[in-house]
């Protein structure tokens, strides 16, 4: 055993590992994982089950999540919601609800809400319930409040779908360190296990989404070269193809089948699909009353039924290889992720496409959560010396609507994030003080063929002659792949306000009222919660400044150092004494602003250090 | 960070059209290992904001220095020329005629018995012309006087056409592949 001996008064801060987890919030199943004593592990319930089915039931007695909810699917199908991820960040017009066992209703803004016995619920709220369940399991297992979580999303998720996921985390009261792309998470788990170097492809076919990413692994850097896929293609579609075949074979009247009938048919289709991973053929028992005969489905027949879907994934693979500028031969390893890659036909076809046996050494159901846990452990600050770096990309191009409904690209797909682009606009009428900017995402030329993300209204433009005002609009995509917009009028330097109207998302107000509703109590609790949040933020800032001072005190003059210490002491006192969250929030903001220069100097120093030793004169 | 620092300085590279890509990548990764928002995820929101800006700037720098076309435009910008203006388009009639010929050839490729052969021959021709333009660009830019820079600027305008055309050849090949 190693004993650490320190001088009195210089003892290092007790190394307290922070509680961080990775969450794979899947269409069909969800998992939570953490790093415990250096080892990545998924967290199981008391019965030893890692997987939480992504199913939420609004029961008479309250909300149920996971296996309990699944058990009630057949008896309470209208209030038992599965595959909710497919509705995240979508408009009602995008959703094929014919085979859903639950009832959708459009909100005023065209968002799908589910009608349950507990009233209308949005997909974001349903996802938040799944997250709460996972977080509860994690708190119990790690013994306390979580310091941060990494939540995975399909790489091919657009901005609205990512934002919806982040909103769900907020409703669940989680501190999101990062939204991580699922194939990137899988690459991390795989890369860390195998110490791999070189180019790998991650083929990720889940319950409802398909991703294909090409990454270059080199000395702890995971660089995504290109990503592609289909955010509405997965194992659910396999089940549907098999169920439709069964409907034809049993000569059922398709138009008369209820949501509940479909659910039974899909369950039996899914069971058949899973059994065919082990057996050459399988019998389908009558799924509905009134059916007399059993059906036999062979592997070969199933391959035939799934072929169109599998070929779609391979087309996406071809495209992503082109985007990455490499050939299939240059790919060293193909990593299989997602439960749907258990289907043998998928494995065969992927093997043939890349001309090598795909790797399935890490459990395809767990690999994403395990990778997310590794990233969470580093982001939360438990591994300060870690060399790992993830460089990810934006999956779909961002563009603006221009004259005639055409799209002007602002940021191309596969651009490394974070990324920004500034664009200048001018007014076309005298005295014009507002203008609308419509942001879309997608690869097509026409606005109507892309997804509408949001309309940004710029207000407060100084009234000038037409064409005289020059407004610079900056589009920033952060490391989560989320877009934000800022605007400034250049001739006067006035910053215009930007009002966002998300096309398929919840507004701040809606989230606010959902948050309130989820507390069911009086305003006291809201205030208590807000105070708690600000206290956490104050602690974070003070802790960050403490460790920054410890490392880089020399960057400050004696006077600066003293002033900073005084300001910090003041904030600490306020944090311990005040009950007023707005006062605390203002003090935090003030301290952060007054220490901006220190943060900037530290950044500059680290740039300098990063390049130390190689300067221009080397050449 | 000093955002006035140009991308070459940022990466510790000499201001030149020739950029050693391996060195660029290596410097880039070194910078991102300390600047990327992931390195500051547990820090104050102020520092996170800053990391976002810095990492974005480094990413832009990489994208600019990696692509020959962007790099050429950036060198002109550093020399004080406005390469972004909308009115910035070539008036070289011979060049435009040549462009139209290539475009016609592409359109006819669809109906050709071997469309890939047509695409390849257009690609080769355009590629050669592009390489020639880059050579002219570099020597004019190196001269550095006002007239030469104007010539370099014209090369850059024409190069933009060339790259667009080559992108279209690729897009067409993609469609034929599927």
Q: What is the mean pLDDT of residues A354-376?
A: 93
Residue B74 lies in a domain: no
In 3-state terms, what secondary structure has residue A390? Answer: strand
Measure B8 CA to nearest chain A CA, in Å.
9
A537:B45 CB<8 A = yes
**Distance of alpha carbon A250 from alpha carbon A268, whole angstroms:** 13
Nearest Cα of chain B lies from the Cα of A482 at a distance, in angstroms, of 12
CATH code for position B43: 1.10.287.110
> Cα(A385)–Cα(A397) distance, rounded to whole angstroms?
35
Chain B residue with CA closest to A180: the answer is B38
Give the one of A379, A391, A541 whose C-beta lies nearest to B41's C-beta: A379
Q: How far is B94 from chain A (nearest CA, A)?
A: 29
- With cut-offs at 50, 70 and 90, classify the pLDDT of residue A437: confident
Contact B54 A603 (CB under 8 A): yes
* Residue A222 and residue A388 in contact, taking contact as beta carbons nearer than 8 Å: yes
Interchain pair B41, A415: CB under 8 A: no
pLDDT in tens, chain B (178 residues): 556 679 999 999 999 999 999 999 999 999 998 899 998 888 878 788 889 999 999 999 999 999 999 999 999 999 988 887 656 677 888 888 888 888 888 888 878 888 888 888 889 999 999 999 999 999 999 998 999 999 999 999 999 999 999 988 888 888 887 6
End-to-end CA distance of chain B: 46
Q: What is the pLDDT of residue B44?
A: 79
| Neighboring chain A residues of B34 at a CB cutoff of 8 Å | 606-607, 609-610
Indicate which residue of A50, A64, A76, A85 is catalytic: A85
Picking from A83, A118, A86, A85, the residue whose alpha carbon sits closest to that of residue A101 is A83
Neighbour-count burial for A233-272, b at 16+ CB within 10 Å, e otherwise? bbbbbbbbbbbbbbbeebebeeeebeebbbbbbbebbbbb
Q: What is the pLDDT of residue A499?
A: 65
Model confidence over A113-126: pLDDT tens digits?
A: 999 999 999 999 99
Average pLDDT of chain A to the nearest whole number = 86
Alpha helices in A40-174 (DSSP H): 67-71, 123-142, 159-171
Q: How far is CA A384 from CA A39, A151, A537, B34, in A?
A: 16, 21, 21, 11
Query: What's residue A526's pLDDT?
Result: 66
pLDDT-based confidence at residue A616 (cuts at 50, 70, 90):
very low
Last residue within a domain, chosen from B66, B83, B114:
B66
pLDDT given for residue A79 in this prediction: 93
User: For residue A18, which residues of chain B lie inside 8 Å, CB to CB?
Assistant: 42
CA closest to B13 among chain A residues: A616
Which positions ≥6 away from A448 have C-beta within 8 Å?
A405
Assess whether B108 and B165 both reside in one domain: yes
Tokens of A145: 């409040």
Residue in the structure block whose two tokens are 């570099």: B138
Examine the domain organization and report whether B48 and B111 are in the same domain.
no
What is the chain A residue with the closest CA to B60?
Answer: A419
Each residue's pLDDT tens digit, A166-200: 999 999 999 999 999 999 999 999 988 777 889 99
With CA atoms as reference, the chain B residue closest to A541 would be: B44
What average pLDDT does the segment A460-477 reach? 85
Residues B15 and B59 in one domain: yes
Q: Do A606 and B36 touch (CB under 8 A)?
A: no
Q: Which of A221, A419, A606 sits opposite B35 (nearest CB)?
A: A606
What integer pLDDT is reported at residue A522 of this predicted model?
46
Answer whether residue B83 is part of any domain. no
- Beta pairing, strands A406-411 & A295-298: unpaired
Q: Identify the sign of the CA torsion B36, B41, B44, B49.
A: positive
Report yes or no on B82 lying in a domain: no
In this complex, the residue of A380, A389, A615 whose CB is nearest that of residue B33 is: A389
pLDDT for B83 equals: 83
B117 and B153 assigned to the same domain:
yes
Are B35 and B111 members of one domain? no
pLDDT number for residue A31 = 97
Q: Rounded to a whole number, what is the distance in Å from the CA of B34 to chain A's nearest CA? A: 6
Query: Is a pLDDT exceeding 70 seen at residue A592?
Result: yes
Is the Cβ pair B42, A379 closer than 8 Å?
yes
The Cα–Cα gap between A296 and A319 comes to 37
Would the CB atoms of B38 and A479 count as touching at under 8 Å?
Answer: yes
Nearest CA in chain B to A604: B1
Active-site residue among A64, A158, A182, A392?
Answer: A182
Report the distance separating Cα A162 and Cα A178, nearest Å.
11
| CB atoms A604 and B1 under 8 Å | yes
What distance in Å separates residue B122's CA from the closest CA in chain A? 19
Whether A182 is a known active-site residue: answer yes
Instruction: Report residue A361's pLDDT band, with 50, 70 and 90 as the boundaries.
Output: confident
Out of A15-19, A66-70, A290-294, A473-477, pick the least confident: A15-19
Which residues in B lie closer than 8 A to residue A380 (C-beta atoms)?
41-42
Name all contacts of A108-113 with Cβ < 8 Å and 24+ positions apart: A110/A504, A111/A504, A111/A505, A111/A506, A112/A87
Q: Give which of A536, A594, A611 to mutate to test B binding, by max B Cβ within 10 Å.
A: A611
B44 to A148: CB separation less than 8 angstroms, yes or no: no
Cβ within 8 Å, pair B12-A596: no
- Name every residue in B having a CB less than 8 A away from some CB of A: 1-2, 9-14, 27, 29-39, 41-47, 50-52, 54-56, 59-60, 62-63, 170, 174, 177-178
Nearest CA in chain A to B43: A544
List the single best residue of B19, B56, B178 to mutate versus A (max A Cβ within 10 A): B56
Q: Is residue B149 part of a domain?
A: yes
Q: Say if the Cβ atoms of B29 and A387 lie within 8 Å.
A: no
Is A204 considered catalytic here?
yes
pLDDT, residue A618, reads: 45
Is residue B73 assigned to a domain? no
| Residue A415: partners with Cβ closer than 8 Å, 6 or more residues away | A393, A394, A477, B59, B63
Is the residue at B20 inside a domain? yes
Residue A330: C-alpha distances to residues A252, A326, A355 (Å): 49, 6, 11
- Is the pLDDT at A3 greater than 50? The verdict is no
Give the total number of structural domains in chain B: 2
Contact criterion met (CB below 8 Å) for B74 and B141: no
pLDDT class of A394 with cuts at 50, 70, 90: very high
Same domain, B41 and B110: no
A24 catalytic per annotation:
yes
> Distance between CA atoms of A614 and A56, rounded to whole angstroms?
56
Per-residue pLDDT tens over the stretch A292-347: 888 999 999 999 999 999 999 999 999 999 999 999 999 999 999 998 999 999 99
Contact (Cβ atoms closer than 8 angstroms) between residue A125 and residue A81 = no
Please tell me whether residues B116 and B50 are part of one structural domain. Answer: no
* B1 located within any domain: no
> In this complex, do A476 and B56 lie within 8 Å of one another by their Cβ atoms?
yes
Taking contacts as CB-CB distances below 8 angstroms, the residues of chain B near A387 are: 33
Find the closest chain B residue to A375 by CA distance.
Answer: B38
Q: Is the domain of B97 the same as that of B48?
A: no
Is A378's CB within 8 Å of B38's CB?
yes
Range of the domain at B46: 7-66
Residue A500: pLDDT over 80: no
Residue tagged active-site, from A50, A167, A204, A377: A204
**Whether residue B53 sits in one domain with residue B106:** no
Q: How high is the pLDDT of residue A449?
A: 87
Chain A residues within 8 A of B77 when measuring between CB atoms? none
Looking at the complex, report in whole angstroms how far the Cα of residue A270 sits from the nearest Cα belonging to chain B.
31
Same domain, B121 and B168: yes
Q: Which residues contact B61 (CB under 8 A, 6 or more apart)?
A: B7, B10, B11, B28
CATH of the domain at B97: 1.20.1280
Write down the pLDDT at residue A140.
94
| Least confident range of A79-83, A224-228, A259-263 | A259-263
- Do B62 and B97 lie in one domain? The reply is no
Q: What is the pLDDT of residue A504?
A: 72
Pair (B100, B173) in one structural domain: yes
Distance from the Cα of A52 to chain B's closest Cα (Å) equals: 28
Closest among B104, B35, B32, B27 to B66, alpha carbons compared: B27
Q: How many CB pairs under 8 A join A and B?
A: 122
Residue B17 lies inside a defined structural domain of this protein: yes
Question: For the residues A416-444, what does the mean pLDDT come to?
Answer: 87
Instruction: Look at B1 and A416 and tell me if their CB atoms are within 8 Å.
Output: no
Whether residue A524 has pLDDT greater than 60 = no
Give the model's pLDDT for residue A7: 41
């Amino acid at each position: 055993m190693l004993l650490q001996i320190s001088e009195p008064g210089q003892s290092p801060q007790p190394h307290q590992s922070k509680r961080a987890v990775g969450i794979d919030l899947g269409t069909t199943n969800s998992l939570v994982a953490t790093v415990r004593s250096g080892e990545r592990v998924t967290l199981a319930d008391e019965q030893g089950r890692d997987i939480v089915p992504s199913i939420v039931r609004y029961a008479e007695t309250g909300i149920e999540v996971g296996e309990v909810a699944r058990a009630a699917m057949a008896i309470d199908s209208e209030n038992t919601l599965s595959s909710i991820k497919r509705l995240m960040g979508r408009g009602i017009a995008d959703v094929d609800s014919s085979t859903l066992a639950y009832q959708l209703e459009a909100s005023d803004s065209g968002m799908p809400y589910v009608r349950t016995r507990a009233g209308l619920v949005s997909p974001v709220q349903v996802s938040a319930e799944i997250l709460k369940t996972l977080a509860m399991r994690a708190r119990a297992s790690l013994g306390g409040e979580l310091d941060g979580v990494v939540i995975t999303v399909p790489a091919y998720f657009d901005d609205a779908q990512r934002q919806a996921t982040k909103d769900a985390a907020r409703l669940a009261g989680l501190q999101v360190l990062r939204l991580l792309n699922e194939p990137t998470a899988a690459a991390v788990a795989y890369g860390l296990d195998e110490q791999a170097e070189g180019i790998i492809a991650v083929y990720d076919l889940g319950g409802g989404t398909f991703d294909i990413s090409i990454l270059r692994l080199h000395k702890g850097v995971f660089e995504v070269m290109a990503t592609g896929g289909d955010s509405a293609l997965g194992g659910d579609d396999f089940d549907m193809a098999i169920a439709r075949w069964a409907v034809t074979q049993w000569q059922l009247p398709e138009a008369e089948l209820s949501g509940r009938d479909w659910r039974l048919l899909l369950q039996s289709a899914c069971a058949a699909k899973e059994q065919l991973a082990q057996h050459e053929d399988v019998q389908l028992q009558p799924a509905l009353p009134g059916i007399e005969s059993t059906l036999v489905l062979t592997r070969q027949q199933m391959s035939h039924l799934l072929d169109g879907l599998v070929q779609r994934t391979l087309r996406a693979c071809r495209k992503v290889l082109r985007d990455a500028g490499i050939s299939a031969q240059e790919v060293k390893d193909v990593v299989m992720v997602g439960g749907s890659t258990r289907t043998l036909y998928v494995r065969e076809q992927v093997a043939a496409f890349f001309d090598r046996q795909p790797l399935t050494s890490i459990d395809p159901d767990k690999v994403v959560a395990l990778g997310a846990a590794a990233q969470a452990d580093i982001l939360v600050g438990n591994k300060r010396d870690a060399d790992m770096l993830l460089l990810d990309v934006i999956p779909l191009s961002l563009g603006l609507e221009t004259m005639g409904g055409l799209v002007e690209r602002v940021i191309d797909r596969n651009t490394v994030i974070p990324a920004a682009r500034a664009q200048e606009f001018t007014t076309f009428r005298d005295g014009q003080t507002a203008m609308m900017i419509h942001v879309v995402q997608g690869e097509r030329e026409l606005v109507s063929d892309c997804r509408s993300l949001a309309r940004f209204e710029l207000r407060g433009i100084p009234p000038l002659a037409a064409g005289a005002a020059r407004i610079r609009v900056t589009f920033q995509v952060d490391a989560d792949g989320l877009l934000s917009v800022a605007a400034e009028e250049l001739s006067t330097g006035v910053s215009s306000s930007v009002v966002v109207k998300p096309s398929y998302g919840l507004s701040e107000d809606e989230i606010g009222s959902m948050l309130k509703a989820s507390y069911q109590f009086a305003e006291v609790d809201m205030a208590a919660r807000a105070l708690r949040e600000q206290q956490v933020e104050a602690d974070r800032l003070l802790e960050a400044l403490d460790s920054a001072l410890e490392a880089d005190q020399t960057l400050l003059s004696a006077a600066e150092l003293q002033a900073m210490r005084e300001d910090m002491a003041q904030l600490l006192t306020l944090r311990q004494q005040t009950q007023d969250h707005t006062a605390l929030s203002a003090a935090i903001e003030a301290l952060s602003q007054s220490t901006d220069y220190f943060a900037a100097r530290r950044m500059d120093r680290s740039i300098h250090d990063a390049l130390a030793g190689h300067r221009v004169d080397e050449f | 960070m000093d955002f006035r620092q140009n991308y070459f300085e940022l990466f510790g590279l000499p201001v030149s059209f020739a950029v050693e890509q391996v060195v660029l990548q290596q410097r880039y990764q070194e910078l991102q290992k300390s600047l990327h928002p992931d390195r500051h995820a547990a820090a104050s929101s102020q520092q996170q904001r800053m990391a976002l800006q810095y990492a974005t700037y480094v990413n832009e720098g990489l994208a600019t220095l990696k692509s020959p076309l962007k790099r050429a435009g950036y060198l002109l910008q550093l020399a004080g020329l406005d390469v972004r203006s909308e009115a910035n388009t070539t008036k070289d009639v011979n060049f435009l005629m040549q462009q139209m010929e290539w475009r016609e050839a592409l359109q006819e490729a669809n109906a050709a018995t071997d469309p890939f052969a047509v695409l390849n021959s257009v690609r080769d021709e355009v590629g050669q012309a592009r390489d020639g333009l880059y050579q002219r660009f570099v020597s004019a830019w190196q001269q550095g006087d006002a007239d030469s820079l104007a010539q370099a600027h014209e090369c850059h305008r024409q190069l933009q056409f060339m790259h667009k055309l080559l992108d279209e050849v690729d897009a067409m090949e993609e469609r034929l592949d599927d």
